[in-house]
Amino acid sequence: MEKMVRFGVSIHPELLKKFDELITEKGYANRSEAIRDIIRDHMIEEWEKEGEVVGTITILYDHNVRGVMEKLTDLQHENPEDVASTIHVHLDENNCLEVIIVKGDAKRVKKLADKLIATKGVKHGKLVITSPLNL
């Protein structure tokens, strides 16, 4: 295990109380792990702008909209360096869910997600990314 560095933080008592309630609710073992996750989340937000990312693009769409499935498939095939895999689920007679696992340059992945989500027939979509770096 890598060596950890200790540091002190000054915080208002009420804010600390709310933080402790939150980390208990989320199941963290201690404050240190919660603070590490907060720092990681912030750093990942910065990597969304550039760098290597991994993640998912989740889209819900109406498969009855003419050409939507073909357009979604075409966009994925146009970006083979970023699309690792796709999971397709038939939810009911009208709706499908796709989870597209992505890995690649943050700008390209974001652009692909934007195109997929903006496709006519897509009801909702979301990109969730993280860094493959060990933090």
The helix (run of H) or strand (run of E) holding residue 111 is helix 106-118
74 shares a domain with 24? no
A 10 A CB-CB count for 102 gives: 25
Instruction: Judge whether 99 lies within some domain.
Output: yes
Domain encompassing residue 78: 52-130
CATH of the domain at 76: 3.30.70.1150
pLDDT digits (tens, 9 = 90+) for 83-129: 999 999 999 999 999 999 999 998 899 999 999 999 999 999 999 98
Question: Does residue 104 contact residue 53 with C-beta atoms inside 8 Å?
Answer: yes
Above 90 in pLDDT, residue 132? Answer: no
Q: Is 76 left (phi over 0), alpha (psi -120 to 50) or beta?
A: alpha
72 shares a domain with 22? no
Instruction: Judge whether 135 lies within some domain.
Output: no
Instruction: Judge whether 1 lies within some domain.
Output: no
56 shares a domain with 43? no
Instruction: Judge whether 2 lies within some domain.
Output: no
Instruction: Judge whether 116 lies within some domain.
Output: yes
Taken in order 80, 83, 84, 89, the sign of the CA dihedral is negative
Backbone phi, psi, residue 67, to 5°:
80, 0
First vs last C-alpha separation in the chain: 13
The verdict on pTM exceeding 0.85 is no
Instruction: Judge whether 6 lies within some domain.
Output: no
Instruction: Judge whether 8 lies within some domain.
Output: no
64 shares a domain with 40? no
The pLDDT confidence band at residue 68, using thresholds 50, 70 and 90, is: very high
For the chain, the domain total comes to: 2
Instruction: Judge whether 5 lies within some domain.
Output: no
